[in-house]
Amino acid sequence: MSITVSIGDRVGDSNISEEDTAIVIGLPDENAGEYVIESEGKTVKQLNESCSASEDVILVVFESTLSSVIPNWAFYREEELQNSIDRQRFDIYAYPESRLFYINHGLMDGVTINVSGVSEPLEQQSGAYAYDIKKNGSTIHSDASIVDYGGSHVGKTSVIYEGIISALKWIPNEYEGVVIRTDSSDVTQELTDQKEIYSEGDKMLHYEVKKLLEERGYSNIHLDPDYEQEELREKSKRIFKKELA
């Protein structure tokens, strides 16, 4: 079976049951009988005996790897995506077209949320968040605010969830995708279902974030090193100290 694809399309491998999807990043002129995979010293046809030698070859990278290295890849133009992949030296896989099935087009218009926050170190009854929203590297919106539940517990995760919710509610519907970048490993693990949430308050905030993300065509949660979000973290501290003064 043949498929028609373009750069940035999301595809699946019909020979495996694993859920990891792949993104099309190249469409070479050589067919399966001509295209040689250098690491194997064999053609695509030789490595896929059931395919036809005349089939088109499709070059892909796995989406999980792509998203971990370039979190906002889905917002790139086709040529920009190809150039970024070349610079990063990704493992690229060559498939005969008959082995792949089309899922959807992966490239879209989207924005990146950078968010950090602080909470009161001792009693943890208040805190502050700061975030910015960027489109193609330029800030299109930013905000910072105090979080206070009137005496109830306010941890750093609560503060950052509040910032994410505020940012997601601001983003216009025209942007199909969103990447969230934060310095909180707890929030990152919770939003990617790698960590259980025990706080009832955080469970509700987590649920609201998930519902808002479902409205977008694509979302990715990325953990940044502390230095990447230092400016926003310091802004949160200034807002918080001003409130206490």
Q: Kindly state the DSSP code that residue 230 receives in the 8-state scheme.
A: H
The DSSP symbol for 38 reads: T
d(CA 207, CA 227): 28
Q: In terms of domains, do 45 and 135 share one?
A: no
Query: pLDDT tens, 72-122?
Result: 999 999 999 999 999 988 999 999 999 999 999 999 999 999 999 999 887
Query: Which of 105, 136, 159 is at the close of a domain?
Result: 105
Identify whether residues 118 and 209 lie together within a single domain.
yes
% pLDDT > 70, the chain: 98
Q: What digits encode the pLDDT tens for the residues 11-32?
A: 999 988 667 899 999 999 999 9
Count of domains in the chain?
2
Pairing of strands 42-43, 36-37: antiparallel
Domain boundary among 64, 88, 105: 105
Whether 127 and 212 map to the same domain: the answer is yes
pLDDT of residue 245: 57
In a domain, 94, yes or no: yes
Q: Has residue 1 been placed in a domain? A: no
Residue 46 lies in domain: 9-105
Asked if residue 15 belongs to a domain, the reply is yes
Question: Among 74, 105, 136, where does a domain finish?
Answer: 105
pLDDT single digits (tens) 188-223: 999 999 999 999 999 999 999 999 999 998 999 999
**Percent of the residues in the chain that have a pLDDT greater than 90, as a whole number:** 86
Residue 244: which residues within 8 A CB-CB, separation 6 or more? none
Q: Is residue 3 part of a domain?
A: no
With respect to residue 180, please indicate whether it lies within any of the assigned structural domains: yes
CATH label of the domain that carries residue 148: 3.30.420.10
How many other β-carbons are positioned within 10 Å of the β-carbon of residue 16?
Answer: 9
Same domain? For 114 and 233 the reply is yes
Alpha helices for the chain (secondary structure H): 44-47, 63-69, 78-88, 156-170, 185-191, 200-214, 230-244
Asked whether residue 96 falls in the same domain as residue 204, the answer is no
Question: Is 115 found in the same domain as 77?
Answer: no
The Cα–Cα gap between 29 and 81 comes to: 19
Q: 102 in helix, strand or coil?
A: strand
Residue type, 222: H
The C-alpha angle 203, 74, 208, rounded to 5 degrees, equals: 15
Of the candidates 135, 136, 158, 163, the residue with the CA atom closest to the CA atom of residue 235: 163
